[in-house]
Amino acid sequence: MDADLVRWRRALHEMPEPGFAELETSAYVREVLEGWGLRVQTRAKTGLVAEIAGQGSGPVIALRADMDGLPLTEESGEPFASRHPGMMHACGHDVHMAVLLGAARELLRQADFPGRIRLLFQPSEEGPESGARALIDEGALQGVDGILGLHVWSHEPAGTVAMRDGAMMASADTFDIMVEGRGGHGSEPHTARDAILIASQIVVNLQQITSRRLTPLEPCVVSVGRIEAGSASNIIAESARLSGTVRTFSAAAQETVEREMIRIAAATAAMQRARADVHYHRGVPAVINDRPVIEAWRAALAGIVKTSEPLPAMASEDYSLYLNQVPGAFVFLGGKPEGEVFPHHSPHFRISEECLPVGVETLVRGARALLTHPEVLRRAR
| In a shared domain, residues 335 and 260 | no
Contact yes or no for 332/275 (Cβ under 8 A): no
Residue-by-residue DSSP string for 273-292: T-EEEEEEE-----EEE-HH
Q: Which of 233, 258, 281 is a domain's end point?
A: 281
Region 123-151 average pLDDT: 97
| In a shared domain, residues 355 and 233 | no
pLDDT digits (tens, 9 = 90+) for 311-349: 999 999 999 999 999 999 999 999 999 999 999 999 999
Region 132-139 average pLDDT: 98
Q: Which of 281, 309, 326 is a domain's end point?
A: 281
Residue-by-residue DSSP string for 6-31: HHHHHHHHT----TT--HHHHHHHHH
| In a shared domain, residues 158 and 210 | no
- Better pLDDT: 138 or 381: 138
Give residue 56's pLDDT: 86
pLDDT > 80? residue 1: no
pLDDT digits (tens, 9 = 90+) for 169-225: 999 999 999 999 999 999 999 999 999 999 999 999 999 999 999 999 999 999 999
pLDDT digits (tens, 9 = 90+) for 351-371: 999 999 999 999 999 999 999
Region 133-160 average pLDDT: 97
Averaged pLDDT score across all residues of the chain: 97
Give residue 291's pLDDT: 97
Q: Which helix (H) or strand (E) holds 67?
A: none
The residues, any chain, with a CB within 8 Å of residue 66's CB and separated by 6 or more, are 93, 96, 97, 122, 123, 125, 126, 131
| In a shared domain, residues 154 and 289 | yes
| In a shared domain, residues 262 and 289 | no
For residue 221, list its beta bridge partners.
247
Q: What is the CATH number of the domain that holds 257?
A: 3.30.70.360
- Burial of 211 from C-beta contacts in 10 A (0-12 / 13-18 / 19+): exposed
| In a shared domain, residues 40 and 155 | yes
| In a shared domain, residues 267 and 230 | yes
| In a shared domain, residues 308 and 268 | no
| In a shared domain, residues 115 and 180 | no
Range of weakest confidence among 165-169, 229-233, 376-380: 376-380
Angstrom distance (rounded) from CA 329 to CA 323: 7
Region 281-297 average pLDDT: 97
| In a shared domain, residues 131 and 214 | no
End-to-end, the C-alpha distance of the chain in Å comes to 38
Give residue 5's pLDDT: 98
| In a shared domain, residues 36 and 107 | yes
Give residue 381's pLDDT: 72
Q: Which of 281, 302, 336 is a domain's end point?
A: 281
Helices (H), the chain: 3-13, 23-35, 93-109, 131-137, 195-208, 251-271, 291-301, 320-323, 355-372, 375-380
| Phi, psi angles (nearest 5°) of residue 161 | -130, 130
Angstrom distance (rounded) from CA 322 to CA 115: 20
pLDDT > 80? residue 30: yes
- The residue segments making up the domain with residue 104 are 3-169+285-380
Q: What is the CATH number of the domain that holds 69?
A: 3.40.630.10
Vertex 31, ends 25 and 37: CA angle to 5°? 145
Give residue 380's pLDDT: 82
Give residue 135's pLDDT: 98
Give residue 302's pLDDT: 97
| In a shared domain, residues 276 and 290 | no
pLDDT > 90? residue 121: yes
Give residue 226's pLDDT: 98
- Please give the tally of structural domains in the chain: 2
